[in-house]
Structure 1
Amino acid sequence: MIEAKLYIDGQWIDGQSGTKATRKSPADLSETIGVYPLATVDETDSAIVAAKQALIGWKAMSGSARGDVLYRAAQLLENEVTDVAKLMSREMGKPIGEAVGEVKRGVALLRYYAGEGMRAMGEVYPASDGGSLLYSNRVPIGVVGAITPWNFPVAIPLWKMAPALIFGNTVVWKPADPSSITAFRLMQILDQAGFPKGVINMVTGKGSEVGQKIITHPSVHAITFTGSNEVGKLVALAAVERGAKYQLEMGGKNPTIVCEDADLEKAATLTVSAAMRSAGQKCTATSRVIVERSILETFTELLVEKVNQLKLSNPLEQDCYLGPVVNETQQRSILAVIKRGVENGARLLVGGEAPAGELANGCYVQPTLFDQVDSQSELGQHEIFGPVLSIIPADDLAQALAIANDTPFGLCAAIFTKDIDRMFHFLRNIEAGLIKINGETAGVEPHAPFGGMKQSSSHSREQGRAAIEFFTSIQTIAISQTTL
């Protein structure tokens, strides 16, 4: 069993309160993965003070010197890919193959942003006075509060913290409770990379205490958050009230449109992958597949066949496709949505229950497929965050687009078609920040901007070069000659 600690000002701390929470394996609730401390408000304040004090020295270092530390972190994480992936799989139930891929993505993120330390940080402009120099420079914004989710416990923290750090900011990191043990292991690796004390701090604990302190503290200059819409709105309000910068990545109700001319086999395979991988616990997962009526029966049969072939298994098995959801609370929530869906008239085609037998002591949910779904129902409108896919018919592409856009969210969308005119019509009219043509909604690249529209995201983008927009401020500088 792992006994996690807080990391404040370069020191590992047990926690003043002595109160600890336990993480059990969602694959088998009789297995305890570890315990982690619940930080106090005072400890959170200490982490913020440490980050503020470390800011002067860290931002004074050259970008290449900061990049060297990130390169070391990447190498150290690469050396521990298997062990970190196994811990992630045990703690939050992600199939081991996906967990390994996520840790490798974390390595790639660290290396990508290490290289950003050598890129240009401003522009030169023509001055009206020929003897003057006019240019812009990007500077760190200061202390960054990073509040991260449990579903990508390595990749998302790193795609937030790596750009914050390379651009000269310091970080106070609050990971989500269900991934606190994996976060502790990641923090151990970052500690070994040689960041100066106070540059990164990690505090685990209750969002109502630790998270609230971070988002309201006057020394936290920016907050980057991934999580629910309800909490995201609170983060935004707290930031606006005191003039802090904020970045929100929140929910999605991602549609895939399947046109009558599509490669139906490919569309079915990738739609099931997008809906069921990671047990549907991705903000980019497909939860609605909108199908033209002319192919509805054929495509539904394909989906039923493919979902029926999926096997629930222990996430540590090398061939695991579908493991448990993260905890009992999530399991109960998903099963309740499924039950309400049936009660409200949707037809359950596959799954819909927790399995019996050897998996009954885990937090498993059978892969679930509905049809005859009302697009205005809970199944058609609300993020479920589980292995649940709803089939919704449409008369044509125009109606499919209207259904796709008719939710509060706009993170991802996909279309399967061989017709270039349909493709361009989709691109012009879909309301989503991430768009896939003949590909699944899930899956992002570390060097490309990430973010959605409407209530899925705030005004900025994460990842790639776009991260510089959030994690820096622009100074405009004019230098004139001292003599004529």
Structure 2
Amino acid sequence: MTNEITLIDLENVGLFVNGEWLTSLKGGTFSVKNPSTKQTVANVPKGGKEETEKAILAAHEAFQTWSKLTAQERGEYLFELRDLMHEHKEELATIMSLEMGKAYQEAVGEVTYAASFLNWYAEEGRRIYGETIPASSPNKRLFVVKQPVGVVAAITPWNFPIAMMTRKLGPALAAGCTGVVKPASQSPLTALAFAKLVELAGIPNGVVNFVAGSTKEISDEIFNNPIVKKISFTGSTEVGKQLVVQSASQLKKLSLELGGHAPFIVFEDADLEKAAEGALASKFRNAGQTCVCANRIYVHKNIKEQFTKLFVEKVEQLKMGNSLEKNVQVGPLVNEDGVIKVKAQVEDAVNKGAKILIGGTDGNLKDGYFFEPTVLDNVTNDMAIMFEETFGPVAPLITFENDEEVIRAANNTKYGLAAYLYTTDIKRAVTVSEALNFGIIGLNDGLPAVAQAPFGGMNESGYGREGGHQGIRDYLEEKYISLYL
């Protein structure tokens, strides 16, 4: 492990537009704080409308040549970028841990995961196949070709600041698109360090641009500028709904990966050791700040006592602390608002009869935004934690008696991103997986996301897919050509 940072100068951070490092045109900055210590890590130029417009124009100019490269040529750039990510993974992980509090070893894992999207789409770009359609006349030939949509914008979240970026940029660049990245204000440094890798990889100027700062000004320019043809957003359902309305005036292509409220079901026949490990990994990864983490853990009444004992023992072994410290598994929440929300949900549950089995406090780590890994028992459906996304390290346990009951309860949510079930009965595995109204099913698997498979939700968890061969579709237009001989 190393804390050395060379990719960016924390004392002189810049935005990256058209291959140049810029300060804010208006001279403003915003601060990025370390949630483990509440200390300022860096001051970042506050980009706005002007910087975003400059980035969009640069992307538009670069599109004219980038889109003409062969898929293999674009893929070679992605491979180089992938290799640079692996070479600098410890530094990228340090920056990520500093600015948003992800445990260091987990941050290293995210960098590796992020690089896998570049690896996948460097190859997938070569598999953008067209069609030849049988004509209804002997003197006609019918073709369908696929072409890049043009300039795209990626609006990325703070909780996975590099993986969500490459999950969007990988397919966009492979398809021949160029674009603008707007990172979250809580975690712009990881994106700007990645921008340095874009520069080192020799990717032509303007192909990828990075603008951080005023969310409203940047987003308004992205949505109002007709040059931008497609937008990919990862964030809250509430903001996603606003973006749907905002995109309607120009009918921009839009893909949304939004909130979730994942059920985690442990059936009577489950392997309890694997189920407890899966629940631990799903719930407490990134201190519970993931859109696919287990929000409701349903346990069959006949194995409830045994599972609870095993699960609590595993939670007790988790080490919470400064995200850069060795062996820390659970870092802080990203900011004070996150702590306030988690505390409110726990207090609401306790006031309505829930019992805290472990955790429930800041663990006396008052210098940062900490909340202990927590397990709640005696949870009922009237508690806020049962229908509001928690985004924190709190695991509520609920008892069920039969399959029909738990399927009905699991589906009783406006969200539909991820669900998990643990069983050794193959018939139950198939029927329950099919009955759950979620875009991603972890079947005896607490960490199902991989680059080669589609990731996305149903209902109010958004639409569109990222990852897999499906992930490149939204960056392509299908053009039909009818040739009269």
Q: If the TM-score is normalised by the length of the shorter chain, which range does it land in?
A: over 0.9
The CA deviation at 1:40 is 2.1
SS at match of 2:233: strand
Aligned 8 A contact 1:67 1:113 in 2: yes
1:26 corresponds to 2:26 = no
1:303 Cα offset (Å):
2.1
Q: Is the 8 A contact 1:283 1:385 kept in 2?
A: yes
**Cα deviation per residue 1:161-203 (whole Å; 9 max; x = unaligned)?**
1111111111111000111111110111112212222111111
- Is 1:16 matched up with 2:22? no
From 355, 374, 383, give the equivalent of 1:377.
383
1:351-362 to 2 correspondence within 5 Å?
A: 351-356=359-364, 359-362=365-368
Report the 3-state secondary structure (helix = DSSP H, G, I; strand = E; otherwise coil) of the residue aligned with 2:111: helix
Q: Give the letter for the 1:475 counterpart.
A: K
Cross-structure match for 1:129: 137
Q: Against the structure 1 CA distance between its residues 298 and 152, is the aligned structure 2 distance closer, same or farther, given a 3 Å change threshold? A: same
CA distance in 2, matches of 1:341, 1:206: 36
SS at match of 2:67: helix
Deviations 1:269-304 (A, max 9, x none): 211221112100111111111111122222222222
Once the two structures are superposed, what CA deviation does each residue of 1:405-427 show, in whole Å capped at 9, x if it has no partner?
00111111111111122112202
2:331 alignment partner, one of 323, 339, 344:
323
DSSP 3-state at the match of 1:360: coil
- Larger mean CA deviation between 223-232 and 413-422 belongs to 413-422
Residue of structure 2 in register with 1:165 after alignment:
173
Question: Alignment partner for residue 205 of structure 2, among 197, 203, 220?
Answer: 197
Matches within 5 A, 1:194-273: 194-273=202-281
**Contact kept? 2:260, 2:417, Cα under 8 Å:** yes
The match for 1:473 among 471, 477, 481 is 477
Q: RMSD value over aligned CA atoms?
A: 1.5
* Contact 2:362–2:370 under 8 Å retained in 1: yes
User: Does 2:113 correspond to 1:105?
Assistant: yes
Q: Which residue of 2 aligns with 1:428?
A: 434
CA offsets per residue over residues 195-218 of structure 1, 9 Å max, x none?
222111111012222122212322
Shift of 1:377: 2.5
Say yes or no: does 1:439 pair with 2:460. Answer: no
Q: Using the alignment, how far apart are the partners of 1:151 and 1:255 within structure 2?
A: 20
> Residue 403 of structure 2 corresponds to which residue in structure 1?
397
In 1, distance between residues paired with 2:34 and 2:316?
A: 26
Q: Which moved more, 1:55-64 or 1:394-403?
A: 55-64
Alpha-carbon distance, 1:130 to partner: 3.4
Contact 2:125 2:171 in 1 (8 A): no
Counterpart contact for 1:252–1:411, Cα < 8 Å: yes
Structure 1 counterpart of 2:473, one-letter code: E
1:453 to 434, 455, 458: 458
Tell me the CA shift for residue 368 of structure 1.
Answer: 0.9
Are 1:56 and 2:68 counterparts? Answer: no
CA distance in 2 between partners of 1:146 and 1:329 (Å): 25
Alignment-derived partner of residue 322 in structure 2: 314
Shift in Å, 1:131: 4.4
Is the CA contact 1:142–1:170 (under 8 Å) kept in the aligned structure 2? yes
**Secondary structure in 1 matching 2:450:** coil
Query: Partner of 1:212: helix, strand, or coil?
Result: helix
Q: Could you give the per-residue CA deviations for residues 199-248 of structure 1, whole angstroms, max 9, x where no partner exists?
A: 11111012222122212322211110000111111111111222111000
Partner Cα distance (2:312, 2:74) in 1: 51
- Which range is displaced more, 378-387 or 45-54? 45-54
- Which whole-Å CA distance do the structure 2 matches of 1:310 and 1:430 have between them? 31
CA displacement 1:69-99 (0-9 Å, x = unmatched):
1121112222111111111111111111111
Q: CA deviation at 1:428?
A: 2.1
Look up the SS of the partner of 2:117 in the other structure: helix
Aligned-partner Cα distance in 1 for 2:430–2:72: 42
Letter in 1 for 2:480: T
The aligned residue for residue 5 of structure 1 is 14
- TM-aligned CA distance change 1:418 to 1:232, over 3 Å: same
1:185 aligns with 2:190: no
SS at match of 2:130: coil
Equivalence for 1:45: 53
1:5-42, Cα deviation, whole Å (9 max, x unpaired): 11112211011121111112111123x32111111212
- Alignment partners' CA distance in 1, 2:398 and 2:223: 40
Report the counterpart of residue 462 of structure 1 in structure 2: 466
Preserved contact between residue 128 and residue 146 of structure 2 (Cα < 8 Å) = no
**In structure 2, distance between residues paired with 1:119 and 1:469:** 11
Amino acid at match of 1:180: P
State the SS of the aligned residue for 1:455.
Answer: helix
Q: What is the CA–CA distance in structure 2 between the aligned matches of 1:202 and 1:179, rounded to whole Å?
A: 13
Whether the 8 Å CA contact 1:257–1:414 is kept in 2: the answer is yes
Whether the aligned pair in 1 keeps the contact of 2:454 and 2:465 (CA below 8 Å) is yes
Identical columns (%) = 38
**2:235–2:257 Cα contact (<8 Å) kept:** yes
d(CA) in 2 for partners of 1:67, 1:298: 50
Unaligned runs of at least 5 residues, structure 2: 1-9
Deviation at 1:478, TM superposition (A): 2.2
Deviates more, 1:110-119 or 1:11-20: 110-119
> Alpha-carbon deviation of 1:305?
2.0
CA distance in structure 2 between the partners assigned to 1:78 and 1:262 by the alignment: 37
Deviates more, 1:321-330 or 1:241-250: 321-330
How many angstroms does 1:266 deviate by? 1.6
The answer for unaligned runs of 5 or more in structure 1 is none
Name 2:422's counterpart in structure 1: 416
Deviations 1:334-377 (A, max 9, x none): 22222222223322221111121xx3201111001111112243
Query: Once structures 1 and 2 are overlaid, which stretch shifts more, 172-181 or 268-277?
Result: 268-277
2: CA distance, partners of 1:208 / 1:340:
33
Separation in structure 1 between the aligned mates of residue 182 and residue 430 of structure 2, nearest angstrom: 41
Q: Distance in 1 between matches of 2:36 and 2:448?
A: 24
SS in 1 for 2:249: helix
In 1, Cα distance between equivalents of 2:453 and 2:277: 25
Task: Assess if the C-alpha contact under 8 Å between 1:375 and 1:392 holds in 2.
Answer: no
Worse-matched range after superposition: 361-370 or 319-328: 319-328
Query: TM-score w.r.t. structure 1 length?
Result: 0.95
Residue 6 of structure 2 corresponds to none
Letter matched to residue 133 of structure 1: R
The CA distance in 2 between the partners of 1:36 and 1:258, in whole Å, is: 45
Give aligned pairs, total: 476
Question: Partner residue of 2:156?
Answer: 148
User: Residue 284 of structure 1 contacts residue 443 of structure 1 at CA under 8 Å; is this kept in 2?
Assistant: no
